[in-house]
Amino acid sequence: MRTLLAVLVVFVGACGGDTDGGGAASSPTPREKPATSTDLAGEWQRDDGPHKAIFYEDGTFVVDENPQLIYTAHPAAKGTFEVDDGAITFTSKGSEICQPRDTWVWEASLLQDGRLRTVVVEDGQGYCEIGLGNEWTWERDS
């Protein structure tokens, strides 16, 4: 069984991520701005590996560490998302890894160069447990 972005990302404490030691997200710097749902719309590739996330304009998402599976009916994580002042709240609709109604939150900001910076601030359960404080950067893939 694939490990989620807890492998995935969601995804993967083991995939590596930076923490600030306290598990709390750092505030965006002056060179960052809190992400909005409009900013997120599209496909994103994580800088440090094969993980891919797609945020749709209708408020749904899919994420997987295998870019080939993200377009199938069986991605590691899928569901809905809401954005409030840069905080993305994910709610699973059931997937290969995450249980239905599981939730987790990332703080998200856009860097000056257009990349997306995310920090896990509330964790999911079971295989959707990513690890508080894990931080990743993503590049727009579409």
Closest C-alpha to 138, from 39, 30, 31: 39
What is the pTM assigned to this prediction?
0.76
Q: Percentage of the chain with pLDDT > 90? A: 56
Q: Three-state DSSP class for 69? A: helix
Contact predicate 63/72, CB 8 Å: no
CATH 3.40.50.720 fits domain 6-17+31-140:
no
pLDDT bucket at 49, cuts 50 / 70 / 90: confident
Q: What pLDDT is stored for residue 28 in this prediction?
A: 57
- Of 67-76, 89-98, 118-127, where does mean pLDDT reach its minimum? 67-76
The answer to whether the beta carbons of residues 11 and 65 sit under 8 Å apart is yes
Domain map (residue ranges) of the chain: 6-17+31-140
| pLDDT tens track for 116-129 | 999 999 999 888 88
Q: What's the confidence (pLDDT) of residue 26?
A: 57
